Chains A and B, each alone.
Chain A
Amino acid sequence: MLLAPNDEQREFLAAVSDALISEAPFSRWFLPQTSALADEARLLSFGAQMGWMGFAAPETVGGSEADLTDEVLLFMRLGAQMAPVGLCTGAIAVHGALAAGKSEIAAEIVSGKASVALASTVGAGVILGAGSAHYALRIINNHVSLHLFEAAPISIGFDWTTSACDGPLGETVFEIEDKRLVLRFELLVAAQLQGLAETALAESNDFAKLREQFGKPIGSFQAVRHRLSDMELRVRRAEAQTYMAAVALRDGGADAELQVLSALWITRDAARLNAEVNIQNHGAIGTTTENIGHLLLKRALLWEFATGNEGMLLDRIASLEAPDI
């Protein structure tokens, strides 16, 4: 039994982190020349070169056949660095295309020749990550469908880093009913939310050690220390539950749905609260665009909105059988 990364996975994580820090440092957001649209397209292309969208896909479509727990670890790191939404939708669309018998489309996405946006099912039907996308992935209840994507005016959307447009969706490429694939999508979102929560904690922890007031680092004041300890708790429980959900879904456990939905709820809570508290910890600078605090909060909200309202999520948990312990 091991519900934590092994040595090999830790090495892999360190390599992913290094790649991300060099390709997508947060400091780029403070440079006037950074274009969010161009940046998203560049990182999607980089992700395809790194093989991230096909990481857990079969070799027959150019994938690396990684374990679901490896993929979850990858998406934790991607989430921590606010990587493009299209990496996650691409990875899910690959599995959907294979399930629908469209391996050529799976291969196209793995290679980076086509990228995949997320057709939001709430609000005005906004398409997220639309900038350079060829397809849009739509998830409603247990249905997953992929649609051609028609050119429409693209702008930078709700979270300031993800491109968006108002649609409409074009021709349907495939539509399948696949509850496990929906859970897989929710798991990869949970992983990214865990990463966001972790980044918010790291930002606060660094700042609390450096920033001095009343002649001392603010991290020596109990009001701040205790907020940070609560952030740590939220990060650790989100991490452990995300691992648990990955193992349960991979192994086809009877409790897989409960574990994944629990992970989604726990990570949504962690990402949202940690992003809010991180801004509080930074004081005035945290409320400005000269700090990434607002981006973490907005990305957390984007994933929340894209995975349904809280009441719906909790009612899905309520509808499940009691866990077998």
Chain B
Amino acid sequence: MDLEWSAQDAIFREEVRDWLAANVPAETRPPGNEGVDFDRAWQRTLNAGGWAGLNWPKEYGGRGLTLNQLMIWFEENAKVGAPPPGVFFVAQAHAGQTLIALGTEKQKSKHLPGILRGDEVWCQGFSEPGSGSDLASLRTKAVIDGTDLIVSGQKIWTSFADVADFQELLVRTEPESQRHTGLSWVICDMKSPGITVHPIKKLDGQAEFASVFYDEVRIPLSNVVGEVNQGWKTAMATLGFERGTAFIGEMVTLVLDLEKLIAYAKENPLTGQSRPAWSDDSVRRTLSRLRAELAALRAMNYSNLSRYIHGATPGAEGSVVKLFTNQVSQRLESAAVDIIGGRLLNANAPEQEWALSYYRSILHSIGGGTADIQREIIADRVLGLPRSR
């Protein structure tokens, strides 16, 4: 066992550091959809620097990073607080790579250059009001009419729907089909007639979420990615692209945030007291416990990723990492609001950032598969327990 990086990786890390130092904007991203211009500017900077499509193959204009390099990229970005992909998340993390893996040449040439340049914002249309954790129960239907699909139904929890140009849309193309069969994954132009977007405000005050209604929306059959009625396969292919790096950036951010909180606790008292919060046994030990837990979160990420680098295939252990990331994040942000306490009652206090992080930490253990769904995945695929459903 060792934690040694190769000389090549060390050189790569220096290259990433230098580039980030010269290019990361000083200002922070404006919240919610107001950040679109900011995100676009950053995506264009990334593209100009050769950092768009990080792990896409070079033949499609990507950087073709190896897994070690991808890990280094995410670590270094988190360390300097580089902008997140924002509205380009779906395009960068899923859509582009789904097209590369299963799209037609025409679909690739139409969309990939625009995704890299920051011209195309994508959103995801998977969840429905009646299909959250149970995604395979989705009912939005698409009827084949000549060379078109006619889509009717509703999607929900679609982040950035009102600013998106395209959507990866999962619909039921085979009437009366059940569960995972009879679905299709289609490219939906969000400007198509019949689409209505209703933004939904989240608990952090941002209206990134939306309901999307489809009233006989016509989509060319040629927009189906993968085969008609094989959409579940296409959707599942989407999930494997991050190859275990999904939580590296968040892990680094949490480690840095905890040390910021420790510094805060050393300088500020609990409300109503005069000594620094750090001198309170319960506060100090809560934060120490988090230090140990974050060390373990880092070790888990490194352990899994190093096995993938040596050829292991990423599997359901990713759910273990997600579950733990969400738990530690909630404990950390919850400790922060406890320590800051009554100072948060001042709506203009600089500490409000911590309250927003606390709200988001709760949200994160629901998005991308709830904590309980992660436990189900672990029970099924890691522990091999008999199915509950």
6 A–B contacts from the bound complex (CB under 8 Å): A217-B386, A221-B388, A230-B375, A237-B299, A251-B2, A318-B285
B292 touches A317 (CB 8 A): yes
B288 touches A318 (CB 8 A): yes
Is A262 interfacial (CB-CB < 8 Å)?
Answer: yes
Is B79 interfacial (CB-CB < 8 Å)?
Answer: yes
Q: Which of A6, A221, A239, A262 contacts B292 (CB 8 A)?
A: A262
- Chain A residue nearest to B256 (CB atoms) is A325
Is B34 interfacial (CB-CB < 8 Å)?
Answer: no
- Interface 1/0 per residue, A236-269 and B, CB below 8 Å: 1111110110110001000000110111011000
User: A259 contacts which chain B residues (CB < 8 A)?
Assistant: 295
Contacts A3-B303, A315-B288 given: A229-B68 contact, CB under 8 Å?
no
Q: Which of B75, B285, B299, B323 contacts A311 (CB 8 A)?
A: B285
Is A216 interfacial (CB-CB < 8 Å)?
Answer: yes
- Chain B residue nearest to A5 (CB atoms) is B1
B259 touches A322 (CB 8 A): yes
**Nearest CB of chain A from residue B13's CB, rounded to whole Å:** 12
User: A237 contacts which chain B residues (CB < 8 A)?
Assistant: 293, 296-297, 299-300, 324
B388 touches A222 (CB 8 A): yes
Docked CA distance A258–B298 (Å): 13
Docked CA distance A259–B262 (Å): 18
A4 touches B292 (CB 8 A): no
- Chain A residue nearest to B284 (CB atoms) is A318
Is A124 interfacial (CB-CB < 8 Å)?
Answer: no
Would you list which residues of chain B between 289 and 307 have a CB under 8 Å from chain A? 289, 291-293, 295-300, 302-304, 306-307
B385 touches A243 (CB 8 A): no
Is B287 interfacial (CB-CB < 8 Å)?
Answer: yes
A236 touches B255 (CB 8 A): no
Is B22 interfacial (CB-CB < 8 Å)?
Answer: no
Is B7 interfacial (CB-CB < 8 Å)?
Answer: no
A4 touches B1 (CB 8 A): yes
Q: Which of A209, A221, A258 contacts B291 (CB 8 A)?
A: A258
* Interface residues of A, count at CB 8 A: 53
Is B379 interfacial (CB-CB < 8 Å)?
Answer: yes
Is B4 interfacial (CB-CB < 8 Å)?
Answer: yes
Q: Which of B75, B289, B385 contacts A225 (CB 8 A)?
A: B385
Docked CA distance A271–B301 (Å): 21
B379 touches A240 (CB 8 A): no
Q: Which of A6, A222, A325 contacts B255 (CB 8 A)?
A: A325
Would you list which residues of chain A between 304 and 325 have a CB under 8 Å from chain B? 310-311, 314-315, 317-318, 320, 322-323, 325
User: A241 contacts which chain B residues (CB < 8 A)?
Assistant: 292, 295-296, 299-300
A247 touches B2 (CB 8 A): yes
User: A314 contacts which chain B residues (CB < 8 A)?
Assistant: 284-285, 288-289, 292
Is B281 interfacial (CB-CB < 8 Å)?
Answer: yes
A229 touches B303 (CB 8 A): no
Q: Which of B3, B284, B303 contacts A240 (CB 8 A)?
A: B303
B296 touches A238 (CB 8 A): yes
Excluding A222-B372, A225-B388, A314-B292, 13 further A-B contacts by CB distance (< 8 Å) are: A2-B306, A2-B310, A3-B299, A67-B1, A219-B383, A228-B383, A240-B300, A240-B304, A243-B303, A247-B3, A266-B295, A311-B281, A323-B295
A323 touches B255 (CB 8 A): yes
B3 touches A226 (CB 8 A): no
- Interface 1/0 per residue, B114-158 and A, CB below 8 Å: 000000000000000000000000000000000000000000000
B299 touches A2 (CB 8 A): no
**Nearest CB of chain B from residue A320's CB, rounded to whole Å:** 8
Contacts A246-B1, A322-B259 given: A208-B302 contact, CB under 8 Å?
no
Is B207 interfacial (CB-CB < 8 Å)?
Answer: no
